[in-house]
Structure 1
């Protein structure tokens, strides 16, 4: 695993906000940190723990809306550290999160830079904005990808 040198330290309050799983607390930290500093911190082991926890929490935010058996792959780049990836098995009412399995074909793959993933997860930025600014790439079922914000309660200014 690649070690990150000169990673920025965050305050106790900033770390707590990012680790809280509360969108409003994460949003407050995202708004005060410069994007490069957030990205660098997310490449650390502590940042990886926050990202893994965000994926574990995704089922609690799921509102439904996918066809039964839909598989969406989410990948988070965090150079120079290893990327993080999860598959979300979606149904009309449930979301199951598991480590990405490259041997299984996903209906859609969303690839974020680490800061972009956190920005979307707390509704600081929408998917279209991230896509237009190069912080999100989509492969596969684009209409499904465009519905993801609504499926996870991030649509129309949820926390903006």
Structure 2
């Protein structure tokens, strides 16, 4: 099987790609390659593919009775803005929305390389927070645990 080329991927290609293959392709990129990817026309498709897959990777048994609304800001868009998403966990389900929706329990802000490391679980989010690579406002206990609510296939 050939490795997924994220630079030329379309939203349709990404939607048809298994999460493990997608994460393997993302994990295989160097920081320089991630920076180039997130500065390219493929950025929106890649970021959207990550967030829209979260409900299928969500494990309600790990979240327990957690109810939370997290706002995500992925900085460094070519236009100077950020990609904003809302991830809501409630009643044993995970839903995602483009943009910030409702009041947040936790707001996470990070650059594209750090976002890729968080999503692929190749970076240590606590250390990234302590060194200022991730900014978190709100429930820091949730920030430390929210990643464990999702299965990230070993790529």
TM-score range, shorter chain: 0.7 to 0.9
What residue number does 2:154 align with?
159
Match of 2:30 in 1: 34
CA distance in 2, matches of 1:96, 1:29: 23
Where does residue 51 of structure 2 map in the other structure?
55
What residue ranges of structure 2 are gaps of 5+ in the alignment?
none
Distance 1:58 1:26 in 2: 12
2:25, 2:53 → 1: CA distance? 19
CA spacing shift, 1:101–1:79, aligned 2, 3 Å: closer
Q: 1:12 to 1:93 in 2, by over 3 A?
A: same
Runs of 4+ in 1 over 6 A off after TM superposition: none
| Secondary structure, counterpart of 1:159 in structure 2 | coil
Q: Which moved more, 1:126-135 or 1:116-125?
A: 126-135
Partner SS for 2:110: strand
Instruction: Specify whether residues 93 and 114 from structure 1 end up closer, same or farther in structure 2 by C-alpha distance, changes over 3 A only.
Output: same
In 1, the alpha carbon distance for the partners of 2:64 and 2:135 equals 20
Contact kept? 1:67, 1:90, Cα under 8 Å: no
- 1:96-135 CA-to-partner distances (Å, cap 9, x unmatched) read 1112236x32010011211211222122223123323433
> Which residues of 2 match residues 4-153 of structure 1 at below 5 A?
13-15=4-6, 19=14, 20=17, 22-23=19-20, 25-31=22-28, 33-64=29-60, 65=63, 67=65, 69-81=67-79, 82-101=81-100, 104-153=102-151
Structure 1: segments with no counterpart, 5+ residues? 1-10
Contact 1:73 1:106 in 2 (8 A): yes
Contact 2:4 2:25 in 1 (8 A): no
Indicate how the Cα distance of structure 1 residues 101 and 66 shifts in structure 2: closer, same or farther if over 3 A, else same: farther
Query: What is the TM-score when the length of structure 1 is the normalising length?
Result: 0.74
Q: Considering only aligned residues, what root-mean-square deviation do their CA atoms show, in Å?
A: 2.8
Query: Number of matched residues?
Result: 144
- Are the structure 2 counterparts of residues 26 and 106 from structure 1 closer, same or farther at C-alpha, using a change threshold of 3 Å? same
